[in-house]
Structure 1
């Protein structure tokens, strides 16, 4: 039954009773009709015998089908039933194709057909066609077609129309032509609205030009929550976490209500950096604003608390979530695994499966990692086989890495090497490094030497591989080889990008760059590092004497 809310479509003043009944039936559609309701109305228009006289109804049906997620085939059938399509009709069907993520070529073909009928496109036409050209294709031809459409925009005098300008900027940004987007933006800054500024802002951020985006952001005559969200995301995605949190603080001071994207971005940043105080702060704002804790927010909170070392709080949140999706379970399983709670992770996996969910590759990364951390060899083999044979999931590097680590920790080096030899993907340096650590632990000098040299060949700029090999030689008392590898390290690791780390102390985040002395407490820090180094050497010497 249709609800009483109606949308005004076509109420002519003087019509027959049958026509009036048809019009009433049509206008009784709710604001967001279902496909079934649309088809009912369509059928009534056709059966009533007024298809030709009520062509405006058919046009409205096509327009509705372009607004809501209806099957593309149905929209095409309506379009094909119209003998003399207008610009409005073409716009609707082009929009349907653009929304359906179908090939841009179909939208362009419709545009060409419209032009061959000597119909002049309007601003909506270009908006929809450029949206279609923004879709990614394998051959890249949509980018060339979009440039041709840009030429038509200029020829037909729509270059200053704000909606068309927005579509052009979005198109060029989607096609990674940020310089072209900049040129369109700078051609006429007066013919711009907040969407125009947000579009160029998003393009700059995606291109990694955060500082340029920052300047554009400062110059914006008007900002909305999308503007702030884009800027915060830009900072975080480009590793400028401090500025991202500061931008959020300023936004809150100005009284703007954060959106879902902002919360997810900041919770993700807190999780990546282990910034518990910041994560708690974001959580408190979510609660104070009574922001609905929908599944994505719940997942982000569980992930944040798990990665920040508060697995119990993560469990409480997980248990309290009324709705859970596959990612919710994955986050909790991986969180338990990383906290050495393998038994709980495996029990949770069983609940996950018995609840009717299908595991993904991420689920099995968590399960295999749990087995690896706990040394559960037989369980690990079982789940690895279950993943491949039971669920048809092809192992990826992370799955193999967990299994190699599991076997190597248990001293099953031969099995680990055999697994690497049968891998369906190329083993990365992390897998070989895992095996090298096991060789050092179990005193397998000859095998460790082979693997170490292989690693150095794979990635000569990584100092970690040299250090691992030096450790093996030192443990075997092959001092000459240890010195030789150290010299190789000094010669080979010259262009390595310095690593950085961070720590949160009393609500303040401290960043450290390898070899840096800019921190206010750098002198005391390096003294403590020297002390720690001496104590490690003393402990190793005492261990060797006692053994």
Structure 2
């Protein structure tokens, strides 16, 4: 008799000796507990709920709630687990976490640091006034229960205030106790600053950090790139590698994207060699980023080899390959890959058809372009966006179908971008449609009188038609309307370093050497019989 009474207790220790990770393992443990008579054991069921909150598998809240409600007298540990279960789900469940916290207080249970950590993170997902007010009240409870010096709680408070764009509040929590900080505290400040565009402030915080981990470096790299400071992001990555920090997947994808946007194949290859030397697995996101980088940097063959070698490809991998082939004038290959993409069971999205229509535009496949545009709308229910209209206008303009292109623009369901009209204006210059070009050019100048390119294009049309008085008139108009012209700049990659230049640049550290070489080039051109008088400059 004594044996049977203690048998459930024996099972209790046996079941808790190994923590189940996946949902099937958790349910198996739960089922064995029911058979063994432990389903009414509050402490054991609280641990089952804890296993669910720690599991990486998706677990429905109905299952978590059924276990919670089966416990007659839940403890703080139980409440923490059910709150944590809710924080892993959609933002709409954030308010439920606060309700559980309130329920816990009504039972006269005092929260611990883990309680505040979970419920503050839940408030951070709310993004509305109600969630902010709840977060402010929780901050008051943090002080009331004496957890304001707990580093985990302080980190959660910093994160919450940044989520609501309360920068000063985050800064106040960060600075009120300089001794109560860890690397996560600093990383929370970094993440909040870069997410809100305060990259230069984040730089100062980064420089002051007593300790940095891979998250610190990754946050800075992604902060630069996401805020458009691509060159600094790449230099930060270089320094990260020089210090021996192993990059994570997110960092690699980010710097590959930056290299692609700048067209720096040398830096892209440096990143690729880093992946190989560190034996980092080429996951689908990394593989897709590599395919995209090589395609955008002009190395379409390397891009295709990588694409073919990938064991797993998602819809974005196919999209970057289709778009890459299209941008390199491999129209037949791009369209063939699109049909293979469909046969593989993938469903195209808006960017897929940007690649397909771009392929048709570059190859002059007017009938095919019309077909795919109609297919996109009728068969896949994708409403045309500006990029799709841009491809179609370019396709029709290249084919000298200016009237059809104008009709397409005027019947657009969205407000047309001036770029579409500028595309037509360029086509009018090429095909000699002076009257249509004059009409479109004047329309563009009315839409954006500060854009110097519109004046230049219209003057070019008049120059081709030998209407010199109109050329002078448009040039004068441009001078009157545009007082400050933004200088264009160029990037060049030399020995893995990115250099930026503007016309007449004298600030580069090697500018004197560069101008000496330019003089040498000029002399050699003259010696070869070339003269600036023999060169033709087009407006």
Q: Same fold (TM over 0.5)?
A: yes
CA 1:525–1:90 in 2, change beyond 3 Å: closer, same or farther? farther
Which deviates more, 198-207 or 79-88?
Answer: 79-88
The 3 A distance-change label for structure 1 pair 341 and 24 is: same
Cα distance, 1:197 vs structure 2: 0.7
Q: Does 1:485 align with 2:483?
A: no
Partner Cα separation in structure 2 for residue 261 and residue 368 of structure 1: 31
How many equivalent pairs are there? 526
Shift in Å at residue 335 of structure 1?
Answer: 0.7
Residue matched to 2:536: 538
Say whether the 8 Å CA contact 1:272–1:307 is kept in structure 2.
yes
- Give the equivalent residue in structure 2 for 1:406: 395
Is 1:273 matched with 2:262?
yes
Matched, 1:126 2:116: yes
Aligned to 1:385: 374
Residue 368 (structure 1) shift:
0.6
The residue that corresponds to 1:545 in the other structure is none
Using a 3 Å threshold, how does the CA distance of structure 1 residues 429 and 526 change in structure 2: closer, same or farther? farther
* CA positional deviation for 1:444: 2.0
For 1:381 and 1:358, how far apart are their aligned partners in 2? 20
Instruction: Quickly say closer, same or farther: Cα 1:463–1:199, change in 2 above 3 A.
Output: same
Q: Which moved more, 1:409-418 or 1:174-183?
A: 174-183
Q: Could you list the per-position Cα deviations for residues 18-70 of structure 1 after superposition, in whole angstroms to 9, with x for gaps in the alignment?
A: 41564367347654132x33234334434554433x11121112112212231
Range that drifts further, 504-513 or 128-137:
504-513
Q: 1:78 aligns with which of 64, 67, 81?
A: 67
Tell me which stretches of 4 or more aligned residues in structure 1 moved more than 6 Å.
Answer: 524-533
Does the aligned pair in 2 maintain the 1:461–1:495 contact within 8 Å?
no
Give the 5 Å matches for 1:185-264. 185-264=174-253
Correspondence for 2:49: 62
Counterpart Cα distance in 2 of 1:26 and 1:156: 35
Q: 1:536 to 1:233 in 2, by over 3 A?
A: farther
Tell me, in whole angstroms, the C-alpha distance in 2 between the residues paired with 1:469 and 1:270. 35
Stretch deviating more after TM superposition (349-358 or 256-265): 256-265
Moved more, 485-494 or 338-347: 485-494
User: TM-score when scaled to structure 1?
Assistant: 0.89
In the TM superposition, residue 516 of structure 1 has moved relative to its aligned partner by: 4.5
> How far has the Cα of 1:346 moved from its partner?
0.6
Q: Rate the CA distance shift 1:376–1:80 in 2: closer, same or farther, 3 A.
A: same
Helix, strand or coil at the partner of 2:498? strand
Q: Please give the residue correspondences for 1:75-114 in structure 2 after superposition, counting only pairs within 5 Å.
A: 75-103=64-92, 104-114=94-104
Q: Structure 1 residue 237: deviation in Å?
A: 3.1
Counterpart of 1:39?
27
Between the aligned partners of 2:470 and 2:392, the Cα distance in structure 1 is 31
Q: Structure 2: how far apart are the matches of 1:261 and 1:381?
A: 39
Q: Quick one: distance in 1 between partners of 2:465 and 2:240? A: 59
Distance verdict in 2 for CA 1:221–1:538, change over 3 Å: closer
Counting only pairs closer than 5 Å after superposition, residues 98-497 of structure 1 correspond to structure 2 as 98-103=87-92, 104-137=94-127, 139-494=128-483, 497=486
Q: Per the alignment, do residues 422 and 21 of structure 1 end up closer, same or farther by CA in structure 2, a change over 3 Å counting?
A: farther
Q: Please give the per-residue CA displacement for 1:434-466, whole angstroms capped at 9, x wherever unaligned.
A: 111112222222222222222223222221122
Secondary structure in 1 matching 2:499: strand
Residues 506-515 or 169-178, more deviating:
506-515
Q: Name the residue aligned to 1:3.
A: none
Q: Structure 2 length normalisation: TM-score?
A: 0.90
Deviation at 1:298, TM superposition (A): 0.8
1:25–1:41 Cα contact (<8 Å) kept: no
| Deviation of the 1:326 alpha carbon | 0.8
User: Is the 8 Å Cα contact of residues 279 and 304 (structure 1) preserved in structure 2?
Assistant: yes
- Which blocks of at least 5 consecutive residues in structure 2 are unaligned? none
CA distance in 2, matches of 1:37, 1:292: 28
Segment drifting more, 139-148 vs 62-71: 139-148
Give the aligned partner of residue 544 of structure 1.
none
Structure 1 residues 51 and 185: alpha-carbon distance in aligned structure 2, compared to 1, 3 A threshold: same
What secondary structure is seen at the aligned counterpart in 2 of 1:262? Answer: helix
Report the Cα offset of residue 497 of structure 1.
4.6
SS of structure 2 residue aligned to 1:16: helix
Q: Alpha carbons of 1:112 and 1:478: their partners in 2 closer, same or farther (altered >3 Å)?
A: farther
Decide whether aligned partners of structure 1 residues 364 and 263 sit closer, same or farther in structure 2, where only a CA change above 3 A counts: same
Q: 1:91 to 1:494 in 2, by over 3 A?
A: farther
Instruction: Indicate how the Cα distance of structure 1 residues 17 and 115 shifts in structure 2: closer, same or farther if over 3 A, else same.
Output: closer
Q: Does 1:51 align with 2:39?
A: yes
Superimposed CA distance per residue, residues 120-141 of structure 1 (whole angstroms, 9 cap, x where no aligned partner)? 222111111111111154x443
User: 1:376 Cα shift?
Assistant: 0.6
Aligned counterparts of 2:168 and 2:531: Cα–Cα separation in 1: 51
Single out whichever of 275-284 and 478-487 deviates more from structure 2: 478-487
SS in 2 for 1:150: helix
Residue 6 of structure 1 corresponds to: none
Distance in 2, Cα, partners of 1:58 & 1:404: 64
Judged with a 3 Å threshold, the aligned counterparts in structure 2 of structure 1 residues 83 and 540 are, in CA distance, closer, same or farther, namely closer
Q: Compared with structure 1, are the counterparts of its residues 114 and 354 closer, same or farther at alpha carbon in structure 2 (3 Å cutoff)? A: same
Report SS of the residue matched to 1:538. Answer: coil
